[in-house]
């Protein structure tokens, strides 16, 4: 029996829903092994060709599990029928839709961690999934994963992700290299430590920004500091050298994120005491934040999935479908015993 995990994009063109493209990362469950295949985005080989490269025929696939970019209301029977037609599936081949990308990331994180119980944190900033929160929290306990909390709506102008983007933009650094901002923050000397708090926790324990939306709707890093009565220099030109003031600004933003995210996670751990935290998505790239969590929170491990961001989706989709199978469902712990980490491997195809 073969299970196939895919990612798709769903677009609303105003009159009809359409599939834009299937993701280039797929995951195949065959003979108790997970085969992760990453194809070149520009070549976009057919699914039949990709499956054949690892010895699988499409007609051998029992279940196709998909996650999607798009609003939840877009996933209808009509759309699933389009998926079936697009893949030319037979009646006995099933299609499973994972409720959200965040859920898929959570399954990948938990499955690859090897732990029995864990707090799962998914930080995913995706404009195509504007209906989903920026940060989602799940509790994993042996054979189940349950959502327990969330933070920030995508329209929140001062979410962690948005403020991080504003900082990178202000410093004119490479957004693909978040470690550069973190290295710069290490040189700060806490000039702004008493400035005030960008974030806080409300009565229900949700993170929120203390800074109101500007009247003109234009958010900026300078606007954050202006709220606290401080003027900062004009945005840096990419050709200009970084200086001490840049380091102080970076340290303030970094320190605020560490402070409030650690408080939020600690609050969840009081309600759901576990020794492990698995984190995936944007925040998993912030090494300083992860170090603070590991050193200050009452936990033994902070785990980050070893796969890249897109591959996490295809693996999570596959695991989700097996756990929720209508005919012979299994729990996640059984999957761990069957597969082990050494059975997870990749084949890279590039036909450029």
Q: Give the whole-number percent of the chain exceeding pLDDT 70.
A: 82
Q: Which residues contact 94 (CB under 8 A, 6 or more apart)?
A: 62, 63, 64
Q: Where are the alpha helices (DSSP H) in the chain?
A: 47-52, 77-87, 101-113, 160-171, 179-185, 221-227, 244-271, 287-296, 309-323, 332-339
Rounded to an integer, the average pLDDT of 19-39 is 72
Per the structure block, which two tokens stand in for 345? 């491997």
Greater confidence (255 vs 59) lies with 255
Quote the distance between the C-alpha of residue 292 and its chain's center.
20
The structural domains of the chain, with segments of one domain joined by +, span 2-97+308-349, 114-305
Over residues 192-213, the pLDDT tens digits come to 999 999 999 999 999 999 998 8
Mean pLDDT of the chain: 83
Find tokens 């030109």 and name the residue.
Answer: 237
CATH 3.30.420.40 fits 114-305, yes or no: yes
Over residues 95-108, the pLDDT tens digits come to 888 888 888 889 98
Q: Which of 68-72, 139-143, 173-177, 240-244 has the highest mean pLDDT?
A: 240-244
0.85 cut: is pTM over it?
A: yes
At residue 66 the predicted structure's pLDDT band, cuts being 50, 70 and 90, is confident
Greater confidence (273 vs 331) lies with 273
Over residues 282-319, the pLDDT tens digits come to 888 899 999 999 899 999 889 988 765 556 788 888 88
Q: What is the pLDDT of residue 197?
A: 97
Over residues 147-182, the pLDDT tens digits come to 999 998 766 789 998 899 999 999 999 988 888 999
3-state secondary structure of 55: coil
DSSP class per residue in 208-271: EESSPPPTTS---HHHHHHHTT---PPPPPTTSPP-HHHHHHHHHHHHHHHHHHHHHHHHHHHH
pLDDT at residue 225 greater than cutoff 90: yes
Torsions phi, psi of 62, nearest 5? -85, -40
């Amino acid at each position: 029996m073969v299970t196939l995990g895919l990612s798709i994009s769903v677009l609303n063109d105003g009159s009809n829903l359409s599939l834009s493209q299937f993701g280039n990362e797929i995951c195949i469950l065959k003979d108790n092994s997970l085969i992760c295949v990453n194809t070149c985005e520009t070549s976009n080989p057919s699914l039949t060709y990709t499956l054949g490269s690892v010895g699988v025929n499409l007609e051998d696939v029992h279940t196709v599990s998909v996650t999607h970019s798009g609003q939840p209301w877009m996933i209808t029977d009509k759309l699933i029928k389009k998926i079936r037609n697009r893949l030319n599936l037979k009646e006995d081949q099933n299609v499973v839709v994972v409720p959200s990308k965040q859920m898929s990331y959570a399954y990948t994180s938990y499955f690859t961690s090897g732990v029995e119980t864990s707090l799962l944190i998914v930080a995913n900033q995706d404009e195509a999934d504007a209906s989903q929160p920026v940060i989602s929290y799940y509790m994993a306990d042996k054979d189940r994963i349950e959502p327990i909390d969330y933070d920030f709506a995508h329209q929140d102008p001062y979410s962690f992700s948005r403020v991080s983007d504003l900082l990178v933009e202000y410093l004119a650094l490479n957004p693909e290299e978040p470690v550069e901002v973190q290295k710069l923050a290490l040189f700060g000397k806490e000039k702004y430590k008493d400035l005030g708090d960008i974030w806080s926790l409300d009565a229900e324990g949700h993170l929120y920004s203390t800074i109101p939306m500007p009247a003109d709707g234009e958010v900026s890093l300078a606007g954050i500091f202006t709220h606290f009565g401080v003027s900062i220099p004009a945005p840096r030109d990419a050709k200009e050298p970084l200086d001490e003031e840049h380091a102080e600004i970076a340290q303030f933003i970094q320190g605020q994120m560490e402070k409030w995210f650690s408080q939020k996670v600690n609050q969840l751990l009081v309600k759901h005491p576990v020794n492990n935290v698995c984190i995936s998505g944007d925040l998993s790239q912030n090494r300083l934040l992860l170090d603070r969590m590991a050193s200050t929170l009452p936990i033994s491990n902070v785990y980050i999935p070893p796969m890249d961001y897109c591959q996490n989706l295809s693996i999570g989709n596959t695991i989700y479908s097996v756990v929720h199978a209508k005919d012979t469902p299994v729990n996640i712990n059984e999957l761990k015993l069957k597969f082990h980490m050494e059975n997870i491997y990749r084949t890279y195809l590039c036909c450029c």
